[in-house]
A and B are shown apart, each in its own frame.
Chain A
């Protein structure tokens, strides 16, 4: 009974190895991976459920939410497929790629090799053999000879080390996976927003970042389709104090992050923060700076207000916001929050008061820019870079070098000799067809040739 169980286990293990080392299985996993990734491209990710119901018919929206397609890249099925691909890659590496060493030197039926040639030459046997060996050696082929049944075979190999290209590429993936794992294990990231004149402390590092000023530049540009305001620069001038107390001024721009104790800080976004005055029965209390998109209670039992967005310039005549991003006649857009819903937006110029009823009113008093910063500490990054380089090297070796073997048999008598050559490669025969013909032509050109024939036959059974 124990034997039967062991036999079944071995059989199941064999099936598992056979399946996961199968190239077609790996490609099937690739196909599913590609399909799921494509779904993630087409369906907006990480949106509010209401967004899907507004964008798609209700059954489709429900399907998106139930199947987790709204957050597909972090879904179990997506991570599962990546896991299966990595498993397949590992099994394939050990089962197929690593054992793919040089095939043994043995005689073959040259006529059964689809790529073959004969060259009839004249001369004494020793000279012909030496010249053939010298010819291939001079062209970078590694020559070995073996005798089988009284016949001397010449084996010429080239770029055999390139058989390891796929192994190197697979190894590159492993290094990348290790690098990303180190990030999950030891790294951290986050985002923060700092209002001009204020500061924040990064919880993971204890670094204090104070925003001295934030500047942006938009250039008005007249295009064929009209006037547009092109963003040209975003700059945060910050005062950084590390946990050890070291203090310095830094400038952060898009594409120009700063490094503080190994953590990188990036310019990610910006916006306006507004301090409101809330009056109740004639007594006004100022609020903290509220950032665009944030909600805040007006009073303990009163309504909540959302500061939807800042309008840098609006048209005094029409009261409508303009496209000009430079503040010259600013205002704020507010909405009342009722549960999870926001009521209609109200545009309120800076300094003007909006009555909320019940003796309450709100006035936008002053505004300031805030900067949005992202920070990231990724100790696995160098390893990811090395992995990418190794992966690429492996791909180039696998794609551009062609491991090939020539089987050469010289037969004949006295001064008439026939050189018979067969060629095999790891990528089939067609890819070597032209180079093989060139090789035979070159060999013929050096020999006192009687005749030659290059035959490219339909492939038969494997040689």
Chain B
């Protein structure tokens, strides 16, 4: 087994085990599992970048000239973004799903690995070192956003399913506004520090959790719906500018290679569709009524267009970007 094959094997193993560990953390909240999962994610991500660097060093060929290389970067960047967001915002709960998608992507990538091949003339440009990483990083960001949106829809859907006569009393903390008002006027002993988090968007889940429902107790450990919505927004806010720069650099490259910066090639038009969907998401997110559930649906649609643009167009539609191997 060569060095790059060993690194690839290590990465896939780390992702598969890591996703199981982080999914276990997702269900039972054990912090040791979380820490172990983070370590595995870091190992897998590091092994992947090392594998790409090894391929580059050994062959002298930029490793992102085929679907195998780009899918490898997609998985690695997805995990890297997850780690960055987890470190900054504590969103470790999404790790199991991100690593699961990364391991599937990497496993699928290996089926396209044809070994070291020189790039076709169209890809022999310094732009490949700028355009491809940007676009793939954008796709990876949208993948992480997709996971947040899915979790939002899961929690929202469960809350909606609990609506009905079975919940007679609201959760105790639902009366929080009064609690805060009370504390404004109440004498508070010196030196006492209290932070009151009062909003409860999912009272039915809270009530069901209080009654011992395991699903509800598990969903209660997830961040609130607005927080999930904000996390989705934040990741898309990383992905959309990356996609914009990716499309712009791609257009510039196309101008150098083919003489026109826009040729309505299926790949570039599919990328435009993804851009339109995420731009719509950002516009809709400015509206109170559209934040949350409907924006999460738009996000899922956006990721579907990304998958179509990334894999569907490469594999099923012929065009200037049909670099299948």
Contacts and interface: CB of A to CB of B under 8 A. Distances in A.
Interface of A: 23-24, 26-27, 30-31, 33-34, 37-38, 40-42, 45, 73, 111, 114, 118, 120, 189, 219, 221, 223-225, 230-234, 253-257, 264, 266-268, 374-376, 381, 384-385, 388, 391-392, 395-396, 399-400, 427-428, 430-431, 433, 437, 444, 449-459
B30 interface: no
B264 A223 contact: no
B129 interface: no
B180 interface: yes
A374 B117 contact: no
Nearest to B195: A454
Interface string B224-260: 0011011001000100110011001001110111111
Contacts of B192: 451
Contact of B115 (A41, A219, A223, A449): A223
Contact of B117 (A45, A221, A266, A385): A221
Nearest to B124: A255
Given A73-B264, A431-B233, A23 B286 contact: yes
Given A41-B269, A230-B120, A451-B193, A457 B198 contact: yes
Interface stretch (B19-27, B39-47, B277-285): B277-285
Nearest to A399: B237
Nearest to A217: B121
Contact of B181 (A111, A428, A458): A111
Contact of B259 (A256, A268, A433): A268
24 contacts: A24-B287, A40-B264, A41-B317, A189-B260, A223-B114, A223-B117, A224-B115, A255-B122, A255-B253, A255-B257, A256-B256, A266-B256, A395-B244, A400-B237, A430-B227, A437-B195, A450-B188, A450-B191, A451-B193, A453-B184, A453-B195, A454-B195, A456-B197, A458-B199
B85 interface: no
Contact of A231 (B120, B259, B317): B120
Contact of B194 (A231, A374, A431, A451): A451
Interface in B259-292: 259-261, 264, 266, 269-270, 272-273, 276-277, 279-280, 282-288, 290-291
Contacts of B241: 392, 395-396, 399
A260 B313 CA distance: 36
Contacts of B199: 114, 456-458
Contacts of A189: 259-260
Given A385-B252, A430-B227, 10 more contacts: A37-B273, A38-B270, A41-B273, A219-B118, A221-B117, A230-B118, A450-B188, A451-B190, A452-B194, A454-B196
Contact of B273 (A24, A34, A381): A34
A34 B197 contact: no
B264 A255 contact: no
Interface string B106-147: 000000011101101110110100000000000000000000
A120 B286 contact: no
B259 A30 contact: no
Nearest to B176: A457
A206 B2 CA distance: 57
A205 to B, nearest CB: 15
A254 B115 contact: no
Given A27-B283, A268-B259, A430 B120 contact: no
B276 A232 contact: no
Given A37-B272, A457-B180, A428 B288 contact: yes
Greatest chain B CB density within 10 A among A42, A120, A453 is at A453
B90 to A, nearest CB: 10
A266 B114 contact: no
A449 B190 CA distance: 7
A178 B199 CA distance: 48
A267 B229 CA distance: 48
B194 A255 contact: no
